[in-house]
Amino acid sequence: MKFHKRKTRLPFALPDVGEREIQAGAKVLRSGWLTSGPEVQAFEKEFARATDAVDAVAVNSCTAALHLALEAYNIKAGDAVFVPDYTFIASAEIVLYGGALPVIVDVDRDSYLLTAEQLEACIAARCLWKNGQLVHKASGSIVRAIIPVHYGGRPCEMNAILRLARKYRLKVIEDAAHSFPADYDGQKIGSIGDLTAFSFYATKNLTTGEGGMLTFTANSASLADRVRRLRLHGILGQTYGRQRWQYDVVDQGYKYNMMDSTAAMGRVQLKRSQQMLKRRRKIHQAYNKAFADLPVRLNPSCKHSSAHHLYTIEIRKDAPLSRDEFVEEMYARNIAVSLHFIPIHRLKHYRKLLDLHERDFQAAEEIFQHIVSLPIYSAMSDNDTQDVIAATRNILAPD
């Protein structure tokens, strides 16, 4: 096959934003109300409906949503939270905001996800059950929660994780930054754990540039009012809808609210989300078919309904070149690729702070050594998809 190079660089990700999103944003800009208002309220209602959640609170990032989830349960200094090693750093850093300890857990080698087995192994090695509480032995901290990350859009095995959470009295706060819309066993992500945090960052399936949402289930719905206050300085009586000047501050809050222009864009994206998912699914299937005979480990399969946020391959040891060389060859062919993620145990600040060692994260380490993310987004054309396929085959199956 001859060297296949695109005329222009195919970006790794592009937002799928059209005239309807632009009009919705422009309408808000002309309305005279620029901060959180009726659009945010409507977006929350519609997002809760789309995820079968009891309630939803819009914020300015998934990081903020995760932080507020921990605040909602008063998880603070002296507490600990299980976080998978194979994730973006936001999943762990928010535990430190309130002074709690992230306990980093290796993931499953095949699915790349946090599993009940990995959690049980970590508990057996590093925790003890004392007076009805799970204690992290090295620090003496009480483990209060688990943050399962639905990496790439594939739901973690939630039934087993929920069983384990009940056994050890832990809250389940799902990091669903990659997983809207996704289903687990016919249940929508957002309606399963205690709280679920979503991201609307520029590269995400549903984007508002920056933005996030925290959804509540029947177990946690009573926390929603407080979370609404915490996202805006702890003020009782939010700006929108307030009569005259009166307000009071009843909680230590943050500045995490979403703007109406953001919400207006999100509402349009939400209406388009199933159609955008269909497009991602089609690209995913085309890649699976085209790469089946290559010396790669394909994107892990999923028995639930994935959001198809990422499409990854692992360059196997028997491939003609290394992962790093593959990345260079893709760029030489004008295809941008990426890597999700550098595991937490490899990040300097966290390695030092949490005393992390590679030997404790063998699965994440091995995945990281071989993985690469290929472009997959709804704004990609069939020709773009074929260019990725041609370049990948050209590199890995040269004849």
Ligand X SMILES: Cc1ncc(COP(=O)(O)O)c(C=O)c1O
Positions annotated as catalytic residues are: 204
Give CA separation, 354 vs 6, 103, 150, 256, in Å. Answer: 44, 8, 23, 27
Contacting residue, 95, 143, 149, 235, with ligand X by CB under 6 A:
149
Q: Which residues 6+ apart lie within 8 Å of 174 measured at CB?
A: 147, 148, 149, 150, 156, 158, 189, 192, 193, 195, 196, 197
Stretch that binds ligand X, among 24-32, 85-93, 298-306, 377-385 (CB under 6 A): 85-93
Q: Which of residues 185-244 bind ligand X (CB under 6 A)?
A: 199, 201, 212
Closer residue to ligand X, CB minimum distance, 41 or 338: 338
Judged by CB under 6 A, the residue of 15, 17, 50, 61 near ligand X is 61
d(CA 95, CA 71): 10
Q: Is 264 in the site for ligand X (CB under 6 A)?
A: no
The reply on whether position 310 binds ligand X by CB under 6 A is no
**What is the spatial distance between Cα 367 and Cα 375, in angstroms, rounded to a whole number?**
18
Our finding on whether 177 is near ligand X (CB under 6 A) is yes
Told to check if 90 binds ligand X by CB under 6 A, we report: yes
Return the range that interacts with ligand X (CB under 6 A); candidates 22-30, 175-183, 317-325, 389-397: 175-183
197: phi then psi, degrees, rounded to nearest 5: -110, 130
Closest CA to 201 of 360, 24, 62, 369: 62
Rounded to a whole number of angstroms, the minimum distance from the CB of residue 175 to ligand X is: 5
Task: Name residues whose C-beta falls within 8 Å of residue 44's C-beta, 6 or more positions apart in sequence.
Answer: 55, 56, 57, 58, 213
Q: Which of 47, 86, 88, 112 binds ligand X (CB under 6 A)?
A: 88
Residue 259, interface with ligand X (CB under 6 A)?
A: no
Amino acid at 286: A
Q: Which three-class secondary structure state does DSSP give residue 213?
A: strand
Q: Which of 175, 194, 314, 384 binds ligand X (CB under 6 A)?
A: 175
Residue 181: asked if its preceding bond is cis (omega within 30°), the reply is yes
Cα distance between residue 110 and residue 244, in whole Å:
58
> CB of 178 within 8 A of CB of 151?
yes
Nearer to ligand X, 87 or 215 (CB): 87
- CB atoms < 10 A from the CB of 221, how many? 13
Complex with ligand X: residue 151 or 216, whichever CB lies closer: 151
Token couple for 299: 């994107």
Residues 321, 395 contacting (CB under 8 angstroms): yes
Minimum distance, C-beta of residue 265 to ligand X, in the bound complex (Å): 15
Q: Is 91 in the site for ligand X (CB under 6 A)?
A: yes
Q: Nearest distance from residue 346's CB to ligand X, in Å?
A: 16
Contact pick of 17, 24, 62, 313 for ligand X (by CB under 6 A): 62
Contact (CB, 8 A) for 233 and 253 = yes
Min separation Cβ 351 and ligand X, Å? 19
Q: Which is nearer to ligand X, 70 or 177 (CB)?
A: 177
Output the smallest distance, CB 208 to ligand X, in A.
10
Q: How many residues bind ligand X (CB under 6 A)?
A: 14
Judge whether 201 and 46 are in contact, CB under 8 Å.
Answer: no
What one-character-per-residue DSSP string does 224-240 give? Answer: HHHHHHHTBTTEES-ST
- Name the minimum Å distance from CB 12 to ligand X: 13
What are residue 153's phi and psi, to 5 degrees? 105, -5
Q: Taking CA 192 as the corner, what is the angle to CA 94 and CA 111, rounded to the nearest 5 degrees?
A: 75
Shorter beta-carbon distance to ligand X: residue 36 or 394: 36
Of 122 and 197, which CB lies nearer to ligand X in the complex structure? 197
Nearest to 122 by CA among 108, 250, 380: 108
CB 374 within 8 A of CB 288: no
Q: Which of residues 20-59 bind ligand X (CB under 6 A)?
A: none
- Residue whose CB is less far from ligand X, 310 or 327: 310
Min dist CB 176 to ligand X, Å, is 8
- Determine the interface stretch with ligand X among 48-56, 87-95, 229-237, 295-303 (rule: CB under 6 A): 87-95
Applying CB under 6 A, which part among 61-69, 99-107, 351-359, 364-372 lies near ligand X? 61-69
- Kindly tell me which of 64 and 142 has the beta carbon lying closer to ligand X: 64
Q: How far is the CB of 371 from ligand X (least distance, A)?
A: 14
Q: What would the two tokens of residue 191 be? A: 């309606």
The residues of the shown chain that bind ligand X, judged by CB under 6 A, are 61-63, 87-88, 90-91, 149, 175, 177-178, 199, 201, 212
